[in-house]
A and B are shown apart, each in its own frame.
Chain A
Amino acid sequence: EPEVTQTPSHQVTQMGQEVILRCVPISNHLYFYWYRQILGQKVEFLVSFYNNEISEKSEIFDDQFSVERPDGSNFTLKIRSTKLEDSAMYFCASSPIGGRFSGNTIYFGEGSWLTVV
């Protein structure tokens, strides 16, 4: 069964450093998402991406964050200058079709655990 894959699985970075988290969505999917989960808390929506542009973003997704689809397969999340509070598990997700009324399943990757020290 196809899966969303993410790298790295775990990254430790110094505060202020840039981090890039990488994702390969399921190949025939068109809608891509990043979610964040701080340890012990709920999964929080960051951003959705469709047709090579951001569709929606949450309040969390400020100017420090950016997303990119540099080629036909990868989908990346960049944090420009990491803060301690960015420490969390970051999940990439994808779905074949999107839209509020599609009722379509979103599939999650295994996550990238980011620790900012």
Chain B
Amino acid sequence: GENVEQHPSTLSVQEGDSAVIKCTYSDSASNYFPWYKQELGKRPQLIIDIRSNVGEKKDQRIAVTLNKTAKHFSLHITETQPEDSAVYFCAAREGSQGNLIFGKGTKLSVKP
């Protein structure tokens, strides 16, 4: 089955700096990769996703890149703000019904 590895587990940046979180996956057949943001005690919320026919996708300050050959994808947040502080999970879709397999999460802290 799919295995998703995520790094780093914690990331601390100054407000205004960029943050990059990286994930690798094992199943070459996976073709959908969402990123979720989870604030303490809340549900995971989709912030951006990418499909395997696309190499990069951007939405304002957030971008995701995908390297299918290397089986890794990354989340890039530019001009970070304190409200970006949260745990970010990457995921890859597997199984006939498209279950999501999550990485272990990255706790991002943005210091004012």
Q: Find out whether the CB atom of A100 lies under 8 angstroms from the CB atom of B94.
A: yes
Q: Find out whether the CB atom of B89 lies under 8 angstroms from the CB atom of A43.
A: yes
Q: List 15 additional contacts besides A41-B104, A99-B97, A109-B43; criterion CB under 8 Å.
A: A31-B98, A42-B102, A43-B89, A44-B102, A45-B99, A98-B97, A98-B98, A100-B96, A101-B32, A104-B32, A105-B49, A106-B98, A108-B36, A108-B43, A110-B43
Q: List 20 A-B contacts (CB under 8 A).
A: A35-B100, A41-B104, A42-B102, A42-B103, A42-B105, A43-B91, A45-B101, A45-B102, A48-B98, A48-B99, A55-B96, A56-B95, A91-B44, A100-B94, A100-B98, A101-B31, A101-B32, A102-B32, A105-B49, A108-B44
Q: Find out whether the CB atom of A50 lies under 8 angstroms from the CB atom of B97.
A: yes
A→B interface (CB under 8 Å)? 31, 33, 35, 41-45, 48, 50, 55-56, 91, 95, 98-111
Q: Find out whether the CB atom of A102 lies under 8 angstroms from the CB atom of B49.
A: no
CA gap between A104 and B94 in the complex, in Å: 12
Q: Find out whether the CB atom of A43 lies under 8 angstroms from the CB atom of B44.
A: yes
Q: In the complex, which residues of chain A have a beta carbon less than 8 angstroms from the beta carbon of B97?
A: 31, 48, 50, 55-56, 98-100
Q: In the complex, which residues of chain A have a beta carbon less than 8 angstroms from the beta carbon of B29?
A: 100
Which chain A residue has the least Cβ–Cβ distance from B4?
A42
B→A interface (CB under 8 Å)? 29, 31-32, 34, 36, 42-46, 49, 51, 89, 91, 93-105
Please report whether the interface of chain B is mostly helix, strand, loop or mixed according to DSSP: strand
Q: Find out whether the CB atom of A110 lies under 8 angstroms from the CB atom of B42.
A: yes
Q: In the complex, which residues of chain A have a beta carbon less than 8 angstroms from the beta carbon of B91?
A: 43
Q: In the complex, which residues of chain B have a beta carbon less than 8 angstroms from the beta carbon of A50?
A: 97
Question: Distance (Å) between the CB of A16 and the closest chain B CB?
Answer: 27
